[in-house]
Amino acid sequence: MAGTVTALALADFRERRRRPAYLVVLLGTLALGLLAAPVGSSTWQVFQISGYRGLYTSGYVGTVTALGGAVWLALAGFNITRGTVPKDERNGVGQILAATPMTRPSYLFGKFCSNLLVLGSMLLALAVTAFGVQLVKGESYHVDVVRLLLPFVLITLPLLALVAACAVLFDTLPGLRGGIGALIWFVVWLVGIMASQASGAYDLLSMERISESMRQAISAAGHPAEAVRFGVGLTSDDKTPVTFDWQGLGLGNLGGGLLANAALLVAGSLVAALLSVLWFRRFDPSAAIGAVGALVPGAKGAADRTGAEHADHAEEPAAGAGTSFGLDPSLLTPPRTGSSFLPTLVGEVRILLQGMRWWWLGTLALAVLAAFVPSGNVLHPVLPLTVLWPVLIWSRMGNHAGAGSIDDLLAACPAAGRRLLAGLLAGIAVALAVTAVPIVRLIASGDTGAAVAALVGALVVPALAMLCGIVSRGPRLFQALYPLLWYAMFNRIPEVDFLGVAEGKGPGTAAVAAAAVLLAALALGVDSVRRANR
């Protein structure tokens, strides 16, 4: 069993590390390592201590980097690790594995180990980055390997094990396989991170232990420590903090619940990874789930298959595998020249909105909310909520034509660049539809500048979605990156305030418009290069 699990995990890991989404999240992880202990004159930070910061020793750099990595990889890492079970079902690998002696627990545990390898490789890169940052900062050249790595081992790695297990759990539940699962996980992630920093809640990040130790170091340096507050999250502060010497977590800090919390997370991850055995059908299309999760041969399971296919709509195709439609290119109708662009645009809008009938109810509810809330609440929080609601629709952009011989089918359609432009305009149409009422309210209240900023900011999101879809050939990269960008904007971080909710503190309307044009141009350029190299 051990050899089978190892072989499955390593093969899956080697395949996934070649994906563009893996590279993007890895680069984001390395950038996070630089922000944890800002190099140069950067004012960004991922660990906040009101008015203070620790000297950049091994213990401090390792701890703040590990905490930032836990927050980032718990969201972005989940989105790039989920989807392996549906992929095996789509490309036929699952049916081949089902014909072998491999058991359901072995398969699920192998997927869990593969997910953990993906996240662990990024965590290792983050730890190496922390080591380099300490030397670059130059405040302490004494490298304490134990204090540098202990937070990664006892705080971040157990949490990532739970994330890897939840990815397997979501993959085996048809209703959570697609974009709905990504949104649910975003809510779970947000609640978990906020609860871990609140008193009386479950200390997921061991913040209580860390903050108490830092308070003692601040007090020992002669500074008042009672009112000091701690938090994890990307922020920017222009104020010069007061420094204090904190050596970090050592072997003597294993008590106080730190080791017990790590053991609890690891145990929970194993339970979550293997819990799917109760309903996982082992890729048997003719089996249904019995009352206690047993396989019942002979049942058609048509409803389950339909639900799974709908949940997996627009997921990225398997690498190297295409879905053949048996098309004869000679029988296809050649593209018409000089035809109107409008039918192409209408067709792209219909593709984006296909199967999303219930989505209009949420759009209507947000429009009513924007129409009747006090004018002071339109810019924030109503406007940001409207640009979060279509995330699943936007995540379809740029990747619905990436599976097998569907390209042959699209050969009968207008030129590739024209279709791509129509797809971008379709995403913009969705953005205008959801933001129309808030923008009209802003204009009616006389805040024309905010209305223009909101209009331009709403154009950035479809352009970003198109670029992510083309680069990754799937929806999950956008589903991973955009909620983080939205969360930073919602918290009024000026540098990423693309909607202008910070009122004058953001990058400016011209800069946001330039960013939208740049993203759209990159999307068109990447698509053109990819098609030219086929």
> Of 409, 229, 207, 385, whose CA–CA distance to 325 is shortest?
409
Residue 326 maps to a domain: no
**pLDDT (tens digit, 9 = 90+) per residue, 243-255?**
889 988 888 766 5
**pLDDT (tens digit, 9 = 90+) per residue, 441-477?**
999 998 898 999 999 999 999 999 999 888 888 887 8
Same domain, yes or no: 266 and 377: no
State residue 471's pLDDT score: 86
Domain boundary among 238, 254, 278: 278
> Of 184, 204, 185, 208, whose CA–CA distance to 196 is shortest?
204
Same domain, yes or no: 218 and 354: no
Same domain, yes or no: 274 and 339: no
Domain boundary among 239, 261, 278: 278
Higher pLDDT, 173 or 338: 173
Q: Indicate if the pLDDT at residue 91 is higher than 70.
A: yes
Cβ–Cβ under 8 Å, residues 260 and 70: no
State residue 409's pLDDT score: 55
Residue 98 maps to a domain: yes
Residue 306 maps to a domain: no
State residue 42's pLDDT score: 61
> Domain range spanning residue 201?
2-278
Same domain, yes or no: 339 and 450: yes
Residue 8 maps to a domain: yes
**pLDDT (tens digit, 9 = 90+) per residue, 186-223?**
888 888 888 887 766 677 888 888 888 898 899 988 88
Q: Give this prediction's pTM.
A: 0.76
**Distance between CA atoms of residues 254 and 118, nearest Å:** 27
Instruction: List the structure tokens of 121.
Output: 């490789």
- Number of structural domains found in the chain: 2
State residue 255's pLDDT score: 58
Same domain, yes or no: 480 and 381: yes
**Distance between CA atoms of residues 313 and 85, nearest Å:** 14
Same domain, yes or no: 83 and 183: yes
Give the pLDDT mean for 222-237: 78
Confidence band for 322, pLDDT divided at 50, 70 and 90: very low
Cβ–Cβ under 8 Å, residues 486 and 384: yes
Residue 288 maps to a domain: no
Same domain, yes or no: 110 and 224: yes
**pLDDT (tens digit, 9 = 90+) per residue, 37-74?**
766 566 667 778 888 888 889 999 999 999 988 988 99
Residue 195, number of CB atoms within 10 A of its CB: 14
Token pair 């989404």 in the structure block, residue: 21
Q: Where are the beta strands (DSSP E) in 367-522?
A: none
Residue 223 maps to a domain: yes
Same domain, yes or no: 372 and 469: yes
